[in-house]
Chains A and B, each alone.
Chain A
Amino acid sequence: MAAAWQKEEPEVQEILQRYPQRRSAIMPLLHLAQERRGGYLAPEDLEAVGEVLGLTVAEVESVASFYALYHRKPVGRYVLTVCANLSCHLSGARELVRHLQQRLGVEPGQTTRDGLFTLEVTPECLAACDQAPAVQVNGYYLHRVTPRRADELVEALRQGRSPQELAQRSQLPPPVGEVHADGAGGL
C-alpha cells in the first residue's frame, strides 16, 4: 500500500510551511492522511510522516497513539460518536447508545458488516451540553438525538445524505416562549 499523500504535493508543502519547526507538522500530516484514507491511518502513513520530518516510525507512532481521534484500524464510512459525559448522560446518552447498538447490531468500537457505520462512545464532553444528547457523525454535530432521531439519522445516511447537510451548529437559547428553530423537528 502506498502512503495517503506524497511529499511533493502542494497541500503537504503548505502544511510544512506553517511552522517554524518541522516536527509541528506531525498532527496536520496525520489528519490529512486519515482524511484521504477514509478515516484511519495505515502503517505506510506513519512511515511517510517520519520520512518527511526526519523522525523514526516509533516517534511518529508515539505521537499518533496519544490522540483519540487518530484511528489505527479501518472504520465505517460514518463514525457515529455519542457523547457519554455528564450532561449528555443526564439527557439519555446511555439509552441512546443501547438503542444504536440494537439498531446497528454492533457494540461500541465495532463497525457494521456493510462497512457503513462505526459506533463510538466517548467519555469526552463534546461541548454541546445544551443540546444533549449530542452525537457527531464524522465530526459533524447532531443535537438532541433521541432514539427516534437516531433512527432517522441512520436512515438518512443510508439513503446517501451527507453528514455535512445534516449538521447543526451551536446556538443561543431562544427568547422565553419561543421554540428552538432546529430543535426537535427531526431531520
Chain B
Amino acid sequence: MGQAAFEPVLTAGIGRLELENIEVYESRGGYQALRKALRSMTPAEVQKEVTDSGLRGRGGAGFPTGRKWGFLPNDGRPRYLVCNADESEPGTFKDRLLIERNPHLVVEGVLLAAYAIGAARAFIYLRGEFRQGYEILSRALEQARRRGYVGERILGSDFSVEVVIHRGAGAYICGEETGLLNSLEGRRGEPRLKPPFPASVGLYGMPTVVNNVETLACVPFIVARGARWFASIGPEKSPGPKIFSVSGRVRRPGNYELPLGIPLRELLWEHAGGPLPGRRFKAVQPGGGSSPLLVPEQLDVPMDFDSVARVGSMLGSGGVIVLDDRDCVVEAARILTEFYAHESCGQCTPCREGLHWLARILARLESGGGRPEDLEVLRSTPPFIAGRTICPLADAGVGFLRSSLQHFPEEYQAHVQHGRCTREAKTA
C-alpha cells in the first residue's frame, strides 16, 4: 500500500517556502510536468495517465477524473475547462490553502488538464470571499504568463490556452457545477437539470469539464511521476493523497495531507491530536457540513469514498468537523439547517420551503418552545425534501438532521420535555 512511506506532495513546502514565487516553485520541479507533457506526450496520453492513476474528484462526488474527461464528444465544438475553486462546504479549507500557499501547482494542474482535453479556454471560478486568494492567484498567473506557460503556443508547442480567473460573489450553490456554469455565464447561480451533463452541454452550451482545485493539483504529480506511483498510494479504488481539513473539538485543527483510506480514528488522534483535555468525541462529520454524522463506534472507517459511503455517510470534501460531549446536536443541526436554508437558490419548492421550516422548528426547539409533534415533523419531512430537487443541496441540508435524530433521539426529546438543552456544558 505504500502508506508507511507516504510523503505529502500537494502541501509539501507550504509554510517553509514561498511557493507563490514562481522561481521557488520551479526550483522544486514546478512546471516540469507541463514541459514533459508538451514535449513528449499527446493529450490522449496525458488523459490515459490520469485515467490509469485512478484519480477521483476531490470536490465531493469522487467521480473518476479520467473518465469525466473521456465523456467529451469529439464533434469539433470548442471545449472548456473550469476549475471549481468555489470552496464553501462547511468545515472545508483545503482549496484555500492550495490557492493561497501553492498557487502555481493549481495553475499547472489547470494547464495540464486544458492540454489533455484540448480546451480553448480555461476558467478558474474562485470563491468571491477569497480576496487574498484572488490577489495571490492573479500574481501567479501573471508570472506564469510571462514565463510562457500561459497564452499562445505554450513553450513553443502548438498548444495555446488562455486562463481566466472569474470571481464569485457569495453563493454556496455556485459550488454545484451547473450552478457554477450559470454564474459564469453571467446569470443567477441556479443549478441546471441533468442530463444533459456539462460534458456535452456545459459552458455556453459547449462540452465542458469542471474539476475541483485539489483534483487538478494532483495532475502535475501524476504526469511527472506516473499513474503507477499515484495508484500505489491508498486503497485500490480510491487512490492518491488527500487533504483532510479537521476542525471543531480537536487539539490540533488543521489541514492534513494523508493517503486516502487512512482510518478516521488515526486522522483524529494521531494527526489532529485527539479530543480536548477532559473531553470525549461525540459525533463527527467526515465530509463537510453536508455529510451525515458518525458516532465514536464508527471511527475505524477508512477515509475513502467507498468506505465512508458504506457506513452511511460520505467522504465529500474531506472536511472533518468534530463535536464532543459538551456540544448539543440540536444546536448544531439548527446552525447547519439554517445555513442550507439560507443558501437554497429557491428554484425547487421542497428545498426552498422545506429547509426553511425545518430550521424554524429547530430554532423553536432550541429556544424552549418545542412541541411533541415537532419531533414527528422533523423525522417525517426530510424524505419529502431529499432526492426531490434539481441539485443535491436539499439532500445536503437534511444530512446532519437525519443522522442526529437517528443517533441522538433522546437529545431532541429532552429539548421538548425540558424546554432546553439538558447537557450541562452546552456551548455558551
Find out whether the CB atom of B90 lies under 8 angstroms from the CB atom of A86. yes
Among residues of A, the one whose C-beta sits closest to the C-beta of B271 is: A173
- In contact, B100 and A169 (Cβ under 8 angstroms): yes
Q: Chain B's nearest CB lies how many Å from the CB of A164?
A: 9
B169/A27 in contact, CB under 8 A: yes
Complex Cα distance, B133 from A120, in Å, reads 21
Contact of B353 with A by CB under 8 A: no
Secondary structure at the A interface, as helix, strand, loop or mixed, is loop
Q: Which residues from chain B contact A63 at a C-beta distance below 8 Å?
A: 186-188
B321 close to A129 (CB less than 8 A): yes
- A85 nearest CB across to chain B (Å): 5
Q: Which residues of A contact B74 (CB under 8 A)?
A: none
Contact residues in B for A102 (Cβ distance below 8 Å): none
State in angstroms the CA–CA spacing of A108 and B271 once bound together.
Answer: 37
Q: Which residue of B lies closest to A20 (CB)?
A: B204
In residues 77-95 of chain A, which contact B (Cβ within 8 Å)?
84-87, 89-90, 94-95
In the bound complex, do residue A167 and residue B132 qualify as a contact, i.e. CB atoms below 8 Å apart? yes
Stretch from A64-72, A109-117, A154-162 forming part of the interface with B:
A64-72
8 A-B residue pairs with Cβ-Cβ distance under 8 Å, sorted by A, are A19-B164, A23-B187, A26-B186, A27-B169, A63-B187, A87-B321, A140-B132, A171-B15
Task: Tell me the bound Cα distance from A23 to B323 in angstroms.
Answer: 44
Chain A positions 36-86 with a Cβ under 8 Å from a chain B Cβ: 53, 62-63, 66-70, 84-86
Q: Which A residues fall within an 8 A CB radius of B?
A: 18-28, 30-31, 53, 62-63, 66-70, 84-87, 89-90, 94-95, 123-130, 132, 136, 138-141, 167, 169-173, 176
| B5: interface (CB < 8 Å) | no
Give the tally of cross-chain contacts (CB within 8 A): 173
**Does chain A have a CB within 8 A of B170?**
yes
Assembled-state Cα–Cα distance A170/B11 (Å): 12
Contacting pair B204 A124 (CB below 8 A): no
Contact pick for A125, options B89, B132, B253, B332, CB 8 Å: B89
Interface size class, chain B: 35 or more
- B31 sits at the interface (CB 8 A): no
Q: With a CB–CB cut-off of 8 A, which chain B residues contact A19?
A: 164
Contacts of B360 in A (CB 8 A): none
Cβ contacts under 8 Å, B289 to chain A: 85-86, 125
Q: Given A30, A127, A173, which contacts B254 in the complex, CB threshold below 8 Å?
A: A173
Which of B87, B97, B130, B167 is within 8 Å of A27, CB to CB? B167
Min CB distance A163 to B, Å, is 9
Question: In angstroms, how far is the closest chain B Cβ from the Cβ of A173?
Answer: 3
- Residues of chain B within 8 A of A132, CB atoms compared: 247, 253
Chain B contact residues, CB within 8 Å of chain A: 11, 14-15, 78, 87-93, 95-97, 100-101, 121, 127-132, 164, 166-172, 183-189, 204, 245-249, 252-256, 273, 289, 319, 321, 323, 327, 332, 335-336, 338-339, 342-343, 345, 427-428
Contact A31-B169, Cβ < 8 Å, known A123-B342, A130-B93: yes
B339 to chain A, nearest CB (A): 5
Q: In the complex, what distance in Å separates the CA atom of A22 from the CA atom of B185?
A: 9
Shortest C-beta distance, A103 to chain B (Å), equals 18
CB neighbours (8 Å) of A129 from chain B are 90-93, 245, 247-248, 253, 319, 321
Residues in A with CB closer than 8 Å to B172 are 124
Query: Can you name the residue of chain B whose Cβ is closest to the Cβ of A90?
Result: B248
A9 to B187, CA, bound (A): 24
CB distance from B127 to the nearest CB of A (A): 7
With both beta carbons as reference points, the residue of chain A lying nearest to B169 in the complex is identified as A67
With CB as the reference atom, state the residue of chain B lying closest to A173: B254
Chain B residues, Cβ within 8 Å of A128 = 93, 96
Instruction: Find B184's partner among A24, A123, A169, A173 (CB 8 Å cutoff).
Output: A24
Cβ–Cβ contact B93 & A70, under 8 A: no
Residue in A19, A128, A129 whose Cβ sees the most chain B Cβ within 10 Å: A129
Given contact pairs A26-B186, A63-B187, A127 touches B14 in the complex (Cβ within 8 A): no
- Which residues from chain A contact B323 at a C-beta distance below 8 Å? 90
Task: Report B-chain residues with C-beta under 8 Å of the C-beta of A84.
Answer: 335
Task: Say how far B405's CB is from chain A's closest CB, in angstroms.
Answer: 17
Given contacts A27-B168, A27-B169, is CB(A87)–CB(B90) below 8 Å? yes
| In the bound complex, CA of A26 to CA of B427 (Å) | 42
